[in-house]
Amino acid sequence: MDARPAPATGQPPAPAVPEPRPRRSGYRRLPVQQRREQLIAVALELFAARPPEEVSLDDVAEAAEASRPLVYRYFAGGKQQLYEAALRSAADELTSRFAVPVTGTPSEQLSAVLDGYFAFVAEHDAGYSALLRGGSVVETARTSAIVDDVRRAALRRTLRHLGVREAGPRLTLLVRSWIAVVEGASLSWLDEGRTLPVAELRDWLVDQFTAMAAATALHDPQTARVLTGLLALEGPQADRAERLRAVLGQE
């Protein structure tokens, strides 16, 4: 057999095979809709923690572990478009919390709706404050319209809760005014560091509604009829119903 020649002494070693270069960590690839929803969710968290004008696209990109060009790919209108999309998402979430439970007395049902509302306020405190107070540099007619949509949804749900299909001007004014009271109380609650227990604030707002309804009933037959029906559903022994009967002068 022929022997293979041994390598000559001093011959340079064969070149080493280069090790695979570690892959550069890139941005996670997500489906289009999932990426868009992720950017909106991240923006919502940032807008909830700081006023909108203090949040930049770079902040959103960094929090989402994405690049600024990628954010622009989904929101070509820049920060304004992203803010409006985030606001619409928040508005839809808030509106979903207006759902009235099917069980309980009218005051218990209204209390449950307020619990959901204040849970949202607590989660989105800074953004909620900036939104309702206005004056933000990113506020536009479109963002104001989104907020108005939420208020109209609250009006419709409240009237439905009252069992009213077509509300007259005084009953409509009553509900709109009470919604404004809820918003003002929410802002005050945040400004004062949430020192008042939310359960006490909720019960106060329910009493505010009954007191405002009693005052309106003195001038509006439709509101008086609605109140009479609500009192019957509250039951004769309910404390709130008894106080309201006293205000209305009913036996």
Q: Could you tell me where in the chain the CATH 1.10.357.10 domains are found?
A: 97-248
Radius of gyration of the chain from its Cα atoms, rounded to whole angstroms: 30
Name the nearest CA neighbour of 52 among 82, 95, 88: 82
Under the banding of pLDDT at 50, 70 and 90, the label for residue 44 is: confident
Q: Considering the chain, what is the average pLDDT of its residues?
A: 82
Q: Cα(243)–Cα(251) distance, rounded to whole angstroms?
A: 11
pLDDT tens for residues 213-249?
999 999 999 999 999 888 888 865 556 656 655 665 6
Determine whether 109 is exposed, middle or buried from the number of CB atoms within 10 Å of its CB (0-12, 13-18, 19+): middle
33-42, 52-61, 105-114, 125-134: the lowest-pLDDT one: 125-134
Is CATH 3.10.450.240 what the domain over 97-248 is classified as, yes or no?
A: no
Q: Could you tell me where in the chain the CATH 1.10.10.60 domains are found?
A: 32-86
Q: Please check the confidence at residue 21 and state whether its pLDDT lies above 60.
A: no
Is CATH 3.40.50.2000 what the domain over 32-86 is classified as, yes or no?
A: no
Q: Cα(91)–Cα(96) distance, rounded to whole angstroms?
A: 9
